[in-house]
Amino acid sequence: MYTKTNIIAEIGINHNGDIDICKKLIDISSAAGCDFVKIQKRTPELCIPDSQKYKIRSTPWGELTYLDYKKKIEFNETQIKELVEYSNNKNIIFFASVWDKPSVDIMSKYTSIAKIASALITDLELCEYTRNKFDKLIISTGMSTEEEIEKCIYSCNPDVIMHTNSSYPSPIEELNLNYIKWLKNKWPQKDIGYSGHEYGLVTTFAATAIGASWIERHITLDHSMWGSDHLSSLEPSGLFKLVKGIRDIENSCSQDIAKRRVSHLENIKKESLRK
């Protein structure tokens, strides 16, 4: 029997620093029936390696250093507060993947849930700091060895462990969805989820069917938009299909595990087909 799957629409950085685009993606996520909508929150000065900060990058705003580009697409605290309130009015919960302690401090003022991205689960100091600031903590396991995952879990006791392949897009043959089963057996007291970066929906539906109780997919207004994550994200129509498919899976598995029962409509059909 399935309980309700928690569905996260991951905006990430696909808002391109434009709060109106972010609000449109919140609107779409709410209308589709998602439970949560998420961005990434960074302090660029802390998160970008010194070797990358002053490299020049072509952007829609012209030639910028990588540091200035990253600053341009970050929301400040006033905007975060506005987005949280906007989401509340749309009956969807807004939160963030936090990449550093100042971002943890900002987000913890406005939401009780946070995520540690795959890139950061080996930063145990950040993991523990985040755990102490939020009621619910999610981690993703992409790029990580089993030993690294264990150390993170023992360090910060997350509530949700997300299986993830961190390539963008992820090749289908490398998704290893059976790892969801491994996590469910190894950590039965935890919620186990799936964060997908693959093309299409079928494998995400499969993750739901084999027991992922949290599902996360990146979303965008349009695959053709400028930015690194748009191509491997779901457009609005795909997000609606994703949510409907997951809810259909839940409904189709809503009965208890038991011997076969003949349904009401089957009994009606039986009257016309059996002598």
Q: What is the pLDDT of residues 177-187, one digit of tens each?
A: 999 999 999 99
- The three-state secondary structure class of 27 is helix
Q: Are strands 56-59 and 62-65 parallel, antiparallel or unpaired?
A: antiparallel
How big is the CA angle at 39 (ends 107 and 111), to the nearest 5 degrees? 30
Residue 259 banded pLDDT, cuts 50, 70, 90:
confident
69-97 average pLDDT score = 97
Residue ranges of domains in the chain, CATH in brackets: 6-273 (3.20.20.70)
Residue scoring higher pLDDT (79 or 274): 79
- For residues 22-43, give the mean pLDDT: 98
- Digit-coded pLDDT (tens) for 139-192: 999 999 999 999 999 999 999 999 999 998 899 999 999 999 999 999 999 999
Q: What is the pLDDT of residue 2?
A: 59
The long-range contacts involving 75-82, CB below 8 angstroms and separated by at least 24 positions, are 75/15, 75/17, 75/19, 75/22, 75/39, 75/41, 77/106, 77/109, 79/19, 80/41, 80/106, 80/107, 80/110, 81/109, 81/110, 82/19
| CA angle, residues 167, 170, 176, in degrees to nearest 5 | 105
Structure tokens at 182: 């491994």
The residue that leads in pLDDT, 88 or 258, is 88
- What span, in angstroms and rounded, lies between the C-alpha atoms of 38 and 12? 6
Task: Go through 61-90 and write b for each residue having 16 or more CB atoms within 10 A of its CB, e for each that does not.
Answer: eeebebbbbbbebbbeeeebebbbebbeeb
Mean pLDDT of 32-57: 94
Contacts of 209 (CB under 8 A, 6+ apart): 249, 253
Max mean pLDDT range (171-185, 219-233, 258-272):
171-185
How far is residue 65's CA from residue 70's CA, in Å, rounded to a whole number?
9
Using a pLDDT cut of 70, give the percent of the chain over it: 99
Residue 55 and residue 63 in contact, taking contact as beta carbons nearer than 8 Å: no
Tokens of residue 102, six digits: 């100042």
User: Which residues have CB under 8 Å from 273's CB, separation 6+?
Assistant: none
Between 14-18, 45-49, 256-260, the lowest mean confidence (pLDDT) is in: 256-260
Q: What pLDDT shows up at residue 1? A: 52
Contact status, residue 87 vs residue 93, Cβ threshold 8 Å:
yes
Contact 164, 197 (CB under 8 A): yes
Predicted pLDDT at 268: 83
Cα separation values, 243 from 18, 111, 131, 217, Å? 25, 23, 29, 11
pTM, rounded to two decimals: 0.93
251 vs 101: which has the higher pLDDT: 101
Which tokens belong to 52? 């990358």
Of 160 and 257, more confident? 160
